[in-house]
């Protein structure tokens, strides 16, 4: 939807991150985007229960002004304790383009549960469409009609080894980054370096 010259077109465009973030930070936690292209110079932060919804993959796009950023960071959790804080989020009907990652999940002690990613295209990501590293885990989620196009990795999971703390007594720790019971339905990977790379530190189950 952004055209073949999207990378040169973004130069000098106005940063609209603050306006979108204000919608997400409102009590409703819902950002409904109109059918056009938005440019952001920093990551949008999605908290527990937040929803970011466009008007279709071919009509609503968010483009990174800085190619080194993750367009979306999912962030809540329990960074200093044992266990996790569990919540979900929703991302639907839009294209994310031109950053390091489309979604970065790297906050310790965060368990993403009942997240819905539906009809989203990840384009031209130098790291990954979805990058899971150093968080607690993704469990019971549903991903449908996702497109990963021209990304180094479609989905890249990388756990951080157990630190020397007391959490291992219950067999888990805040950065193990496991994936469990997450359904990929009708997704496609086009011209990605690798489609899916899973390197957990705790076993992935039931996928």
Q: What is the pLDDT of residues 21-41, one digit of tens each?
A: 999 999 999 999 999 999 999
10 φ, ψ (degrees, to nearest 5): -70, -15
CB 148 within 8 A of CB 106: no
Query: What pLDDT sits at residue 83?
Result: 72
**What pLDDT, on the 0 to 100 scale, is given for residue 10?**
97
C-alpha 123/C-alpha 125 separation (Å) is 6
pLDDT of 167 higher than 80: no
Residue 201, pLDDT score: 83
Tell me the pTM.
0.94
Alpha helices, DSSP H only, in the chain? 6-9, 17-25
* CB neighbour class for 186 (10 Å; exposed up to 12, middle 13-18, buried from 19): exposed
Q: Write down how long the chain is.
A: 207
pLDDT band, very low/low/confident/very high, at 169 (cuts 50, 70, 90): low
Point out the least confidently predicted range of 104-108, 189-193, 199-203.
199-203
**Is the predicted pLDDT of residue 128 greater than 80, yes or no?**
yes
For Cα atoms 142, 146, 149, give the angle at the middle one, nearest 5 degrees.
150
Average pLDDT over residues 171-186: 89
Tell me the chain's radius of gyration from C-alpha atoms: 16
Q: Per DSSP, what are the bridge partners of residue 199?
A: 158
Neighbour tally for 61: CB within 10 Å:
25
Q: 144, 158, 151: which is closest to 197 by C-alpha? A: 158
Burial bucket for residue 148 (CB in 10 Å: 0-12, 13-18, 19+): buried
| Structure confidence at residue 207 as a pLDDT band (50, 70, 90) | low
Question: Could you give the percent of the chain with pLDDT greater than 90?
Answer: 79
Residue 78 predicted with pLDDT over 80: no
């Amino acid at each position: 939807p952004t055209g073949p010259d999207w990378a040169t077109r973004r130069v000098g465009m106005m940063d609209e991150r603050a306006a979108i973030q204000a919608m997400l930070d409102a009590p409703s936690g819902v950002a409904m985007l109109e059918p056009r292209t938005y440019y952001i110079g920093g990551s949008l932060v999605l908290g527990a229960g937040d929803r970011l919804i466009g008007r279709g993959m071919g009509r609503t796009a968010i483009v990174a002004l800085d190619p080194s950023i993750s367009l979306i960071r999912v962030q809540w959790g329990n960074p200093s304790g044992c266990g996790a804080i569990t919540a979900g989020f929703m991302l639907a009907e839009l294209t994310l383009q031109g950053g390091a990652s489309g979604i970065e999940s790297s906050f310790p002690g965060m368990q993403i549960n009942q997240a819905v990613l539906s009809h989203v295209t990840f384009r031209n990501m130098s790291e990954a469409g979805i990058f899971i590293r150093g968080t607690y885990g993704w469990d019971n989620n549903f991903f449908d009609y996702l497109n990963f196009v021209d990304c180094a990795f479609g989905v890249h999971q990388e756990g951080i080894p157990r630190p020397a703390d007391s959490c291992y007594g219950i067999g888990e720790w805040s950065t193990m980054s496991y994936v469990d019971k997450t359904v990929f339905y009708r997704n496609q990977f086009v011209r990605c370096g690798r489609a899916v790379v899973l390197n957990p530190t705790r076993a992935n189950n039931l996928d």
